[in-house]
Amino acid sequence: MLWFFNKMCTSQACLRGKTVVITGADGGIGRETARDLYGRGARVILACMNMEQAYEAIQDIKNNPPSRLNKNEYKNNAGEFAIYSLNLCSLKSVKNCAKSLLTNETAIHILINNAGVACPLYEKTEDGHETTLQVNHLGHFLLTLLLLPKMQKSSPNCRIVNVSSVVHIFADIDFDDINLERSYGSFKSYAQSKLANILFTKELARKLKEANLHGINVYSLHPGIVATGLLWHVDKVLFPGFRFFINNMIGRLLYKTAEQGAQTTIYCSIDEEVANETGLYYSNCGIATSCRIANEHQYLEKLWNVSCRLLHLNPDEDFTTILETVSRQLH
């Protein structure tokens, strides 16, 4: 990215004794986030679908420090790793992953909902939901609710970080056709899911406050334009030749590296300045402005209600009861 637009997280926070869960941490900005937090002494949990890639990621991370550290500093302060299987296309897998985490981990201090897809063609998951919606929003919605009681016990100073995108500004949500059965477009679907990340962040922050559950803050963010696997399908998502145009014409000016793209995620996860902020949207290691409808109460409430119903939860119940109900789904 243009150098004067690219901010790095400058926090010196140490995470020794802290446990971090990162979805989709086997590649892209997820891997770079894991690398940074591992270098700060955290127990970093990679929640991934591809186990082989996750093991390869761990070897890469252990051998290659982030640019801010030299090898000796990195080795002396390094944390530890664990891998858990998570396929967000399957709500059963989400529940199994959560159950394993709740059983095996003594605490969870930071949850980073990072994994994402952009499907070029319309497809549904085994649960009957449009794939991009489930992977980018609904699966993370469920995982978050399931892990919240553990995070509550691990608080104060716990954080939930939802990786969104600036493309949310192009989105609207038709709550009567949230699975886009009548009007699918791959870019439309992706943008909708990224708007959902921000709406979920704001409404979850409000629900936590309303239920008097303190010590867990929620953040959403735009990482920047990063050349990750999501761009593989971009020709089909936008128009043929778009990827070539971006890569060769303006990519060098606009792109962030994966390490640069991870900085706002890291910032929201650890920076001391944002420790008392919740429900906000960030870009380039600072508060940013989300689109108008991302702040409309009716959108926040409607998405919450629809998401609960898709997960067979009653949105009319109070938040504490919803958490108890969803926890019972594990037994």
Distance of alpha carbon 189 from alpha carbon 56, whole angstroms: 31
218, HSE (Cβ side, Cα atoms, 13 Å): 25
- Tell me which of 74, 190, 267, 282 is the catalytic residue: 190
Name the nearest CA neighbour of 218 among 159, 284, 268. Answer: 159
Per-residue exposure over 278-312, b if at least 16 CB sit within 10 Å of its own CB, e if not? bbbbbbbbeeeebbebbeeeebbebbbbbbbebbe
Alpha-carbon gap, residue 206 to 318, rounded angstroms: 12
The Cα–Cα gap between 70 and 267 comes to: 20
Q: Are 97 and 86 in contact (CB under 8 A)?
A: yes
Q: Does 122 participate in catalysis according to the annotation?
A: no
Q: Backbone phi, then psi, for 217, in 5-degree steps?
A: -105, 155
Q: Cβ atoms within 10 A of the Cβ of 249, count?
A: 10
Residue 52 near residue 60 (C-beta atoms within 8 A): no
Residue 304 DSSP SS3 = helix
Cβ 38 vs Cβ 81: under 8 Å: yes
Q: Quick check: helix, strand or coil at residue 159?
A: strand
Q: Are 228 and 29 in contact (CB under 8 A)?
A: yes
Tell me the catalytic residues. 190
